Structure 1
Amino acid sequence: MTEAADRLFTNAEVHTLTDPDEVHEALAVRDGEIVRLGDAYEVEFLEGVETDVIDCEGRVVLPGFIDAHTHVENLGRYLVHADLSGAESAQECLERLEARAAETDDGAWIQGFGYDESEWDDADYLTREDLDRVSDDRPVVALRVDMHAASLNSVALERFAAELPDGDVRKEDGEPTGVVVEDAAEAVRKGIAPGYEETRDLVTAGLEHAAERGVTAVHDMVRNSVAPRVYRDLEAEGELPTRVRINYWADHLEAVTEVGLATNAGSDRVRTGAIKTYTDGSIGARTAKLGEAYADGDGDTDGEWVVDPDELRDIVDRADAEGYQVTAHAIGDEAIEETVSALEETDDPAGARHRIEHVELATDDHLERMADAGIVASMQPNFHRWAAEGGLYDQRLGEDRRRRTNRLRDVLEAGVPLAFGSDCMPLDPLLGVHHAVTAPTEAQRLSVTEALRAYTRGAAYAGFDEDRLGTLEVGKRADLVVLEESPWEADRIDGIDVAKTVVDGAVVFDGGEA
């Protein structure tokens, strides 16, 4: 006799997101696994005396979103420190930093995260003179939205003076402006890295936010952080609401290898993912490596190598030889060229599921070679926020290159495996889906179903999880999201609220109780 289900989700519009997509009325869960999908009548046969029945009241149910590129600790910083995202001017940033200063102890760092000067009328980075107005006796730091640039006040500059590579310190008339990029920005991030207890608070806040957005699994990019220990402790205590795949920075390759961590090793909730490396920087910081100079630079500025091509190949060769999946940040066309070249020369790039993060300025040749090699494109559809006429891409690249950024449609049609993530700019899959289907360049738009699949089954594939996650099928884990509106019918997908987020059949976020 068939055992009763632990939980039923009934009166729903359940989309499996298989190919083709199937739609059912109900879903049954036992021991965290989907055991039946179908019409309400047949699924309700699994209702027992102790079965919990959730009436979805006609709402849409989808596989839980998998964010294939996150920085959970940094997300927590937005939530705990001064959130500078959405600020419409430098002055508004300073006001938010001043408010944060009033909340913290004298002498403590004043930290802000996520400012984006490209959306201001006066599109200049925050400077030390700006931040000195917040405090002239406490260190103040404001990280740009891409985390590739940081702004420091005079006190912070003095404290970091010996640790900042001179080439990454922006100057005017020979004096530091307070703006630092790439390796210097990384030195700042490392210098303000929190200890265990604060990291736990930040991670907890970040994962709670992720659950509120319907995210059931994340691929977290980890560098110089105790976050992996936090994840394992939370799981051991039964307090981890999200599946976490930890992508360790290449700095840690030797240590990760020595302790025996391997790609896909771990537990049900916490697993080791890829070895992650940079190649170039970001378009916003003018450090993405381009084949031709920036449109708004000095005529010679074409970006920089954060990790040069020789070092990249060494990292790829060593990590691949140890059996690790490799993922490399590559934004500019020059960086993508070197990354594709390095990854396609490994023994089995498709089997290893090597990835390129961002892929913002790929050429037709790059996409063809990625498809042939089976290299995954891990992309952020929310980056289309900068692709409108007059936006960041237009400012930095000019109109022609702006139209060739984030080629989502071309990636799919080339046959490149596509996974979506947010890079926490912000973490919000429905916002990403909205941008994917409304991209400023119409030829690059995806259908709603295609965009949802990239945030579910595509991201699952990028993390070797397609056998247990990414679609709603019998035998897979019951990770799902219940939406207040249908993304196929809503006027604005980014305006849809999450009603419930479910991991292993258990509700980890309930919008009705929020």
Structure 2
Amino acid sequence: MTKKLYFNGNVITVNNKEEVVQAVAIEDGKIIKVGTNEEILSLKDNDTEVIDLEGKTMLPGFIDPHGHIVPVAQTLMIVTLGDVTSKEELLARLEESLKNDPPSGDNWLIGFGYDNTKFEDGEHPTKFDLDKVSTEIPISVSHASGHLAAVNSKALELYGYVGEDYEVPEGGVVRTVSPDSKEPNGVLEENAILDSEKKKIVKAPGFEEILKAMVKAQKIYASLGITTTQDASVEEANGYNHILGACAQNNMLIIDVVGLATQPSTKNLMKDEGTPKREYFNHYKLGGAKTWLDGSPQGFTAWLSKPYYKVPQGQPKDYCGYGTQTDEVVTQYFVDCINMNVQVNVHVNGDEACE
């Protein structure tokens, strides 16, 4: 591999000495020396590439401490809604996608990233809105937080949220058309969609398509200077470990990815290695476990110790969000992980969840 010498810059090393130097030398993909322009340029030989930083600042790669790279890749294959500012625009975006690129077979029409606070009325889309796009093809549009989604009537049917006697996984909420009704309005929170069994219901793009999208997603991360990221939702049901493992096996990873095995899958996916330390294989490792204790402030599902400043419509004045698990279940999960020498990572947003 060609030796590379970067000089004439403001190189922030973040080493033990906290040095800021002029230049850095790289060989075989590793930093071999930092120092002055003269010190580094003296290492030049016939196969050396010399790069003038022209006074710019060079930083080490950024570590993304909380990420979901597989869903990022998946969003590259679905309808992006992060920039829509009204329900009408959201529906038009879905209709355009359905017309130009309709889902094949039993696949769903999936959108991601809408933010209802951008809408004039601040309301989420409901099944009544999404049914205008289609009542035959299941539709799901995820909120920007990733902790709730709006679905149409066909999707509700496939999820099993129909009639009066449907069951909702613990830690999930199915919103209804009115406080005294059990008829779902199409807005599903937390484990109502995030439960591992519910995730299996949504038909996603094919495996080869996902692998190609993973390459694109990594290039986005790398373009922003991120050289280590996570997927904090690795579980058997969604196949993320299989996807990331396949990327590693086929040398498709250009950045480091740390997977976290979710609570339902921790025991099956992770083994006791005698230490929490785990090694990369071709830039991927299953590094720890992951659990959730609440939702998101954007979706008003974060668990607070005091009521929300602006209580969501239909909730009592003392609404504080909610926890997604009991203390007994969480404690036992921690005990199990400790006994397996597995590091636990916990999703918490509200102060009560943190406590």
The bucket for the TM-score relative to the shorter chain is 0.7 to 0.9
TM-score (normalised: structure 1): 0.61
Specify the code of the residue in structure 1 equivalent to 2:137. R
1:299 matched to which residue of 2? Answer: 317
Return the match for 1:51 from 48, 52, 62. Answer: 48
Return the match for 1:165 from 149, 163, 168. Answer: 168
1:246–1:270: 8 Å Cα contact kept in structure 2?
Answer: yes
Measure, in 2, the Cα distance between the counterparts of 1:153 and 1:49: 64
1:266 matched to which residue of 2? Answer: 280
1:168–1:184: 8 Å Cα contact kept in structure 2?
Answer: yes
1:12–1:57: 8 Å Cα contact kept in structure 2?
Answer: yes
SS class of match (1:69): coil
SS class of match (1:179): strand
> Which runs of 5 or more structure 1 residues have no equivalent in the other structure?
338-514
Question: Residue 64 of structure 1: CA displacement?
Answer: 0.6
Specify the code of the residue in structure 1 equivalent to 2:184. P
SS class of match (1:232): helix
Measure, in 2, the Cα distance between the counterparts of 1:236 and 1:12: 37
1:264–1:273: 8 Å Cα contact kept in structure 2?
Answer: yes
- Between the aligned residues of both structures, percent identity stands at 29
1:164–1:183: 8 Å Cα contact kept in structure 2?
Answer: no
Question: Residue 143 of structure 1: CA displacement?
Answer: 0.4
The Cα RMSD (Å) is 2.4
SS class of match (2:70): helix
Question: Residue 326 of structure 1: CA displacement?
Answer: 0.8
Measure, in 2, the Cα distance between the counterparts of 1:19 and 1:266: 24
1:207–1:241: 8 Å Cα contact kept in structure 2?
Answer: yes
1:180 matched to which residue of 2? Answer: 188
Return the match for 1:251 from 244, 261, 264. Answer: 264
| Residues 51-99 of structure 1: CA deviation (Å, up to 9, x unaligned) | 2222333321101111011111211232221111122222222222222
Question: Residue 8 of structure 1: CA displacement?
Answer: 1.4
SS class of match (1:46): coil
SS class of match (1:286): coil
SS class of match (1:73): helix
Specify the code of the residue in structure 2 equivalent to 1:42. E
Number of residue equivalences:
334
2:272–2:341: 8 Å Cα contact kept in structure 1?
Answer: no
Measure, in 2, the Cα distance between the counterparts of 1:161 and 1:131: 18
> Which runs of 5 or more structure 2 residues have no equivalent in the other structure?
none
2:261–2:290: 8 Å Cα contact kept in structure 1?
Answer: yes
Specify the code of the residue in structure 2 equivalent to 1:165. V
Q: Does 1:318 align with 2:336?
A: yes
1:13–1:59: 8 Å Cα contact kept in structure 2?
Answer: yes
Measure, in 2, the Cα distance between the counterparts of 1:46 and 1:271: 35
Measure, in 1, the Cα distance between the counterparts of 2:3 and 2:250: 22
1:263–1:272: 8 Å Cα contact kept in structure 2?
Answer: no
**Larger Cα-atom Rg:** 2
Distance of aligned partners of 1:164 and 1:149 in 2 relative to their CA distance in 1, 3 Å threshold: farther
SS class of match (1:199): helix
2:151–2:186: 8 Å Cα contact kept in structure 1?
Answer: yes
Matches for 1:369-388 after TM superposition, within 5 Å: none
| Residues 13-47 of structure 1: CA deviation (Å, up to 9, x unaligned) | 21123477432221101222211111222101111
2:145–2:296: 8 Å Cα contact kept in structure 1?
Answer: yes
Higher helix share: 1
1:5–1:46: 8 Å Cα contact kept in structure 2?
Answer: no
Specify the code of the residue in structure 1 equivalent to 2:63. I
Specify the code of the residue in structure 2 equivalent to 1:227. Y
2:301 matched to which residue of 1? Answer: 287
TM-score (normalised: structure 2): 0.86
Specify the code of the residue in structure 1 equivalent to 2:225. G
Specify the code of the residue in structure 2 equivalent to 1:161. G
Specify the code of the residue in structure 1 equivalent to 2:175. R
Matches for 1:45-124 after TM superposition, within 5 Å: 45-105=42-102, 108-124=107-123
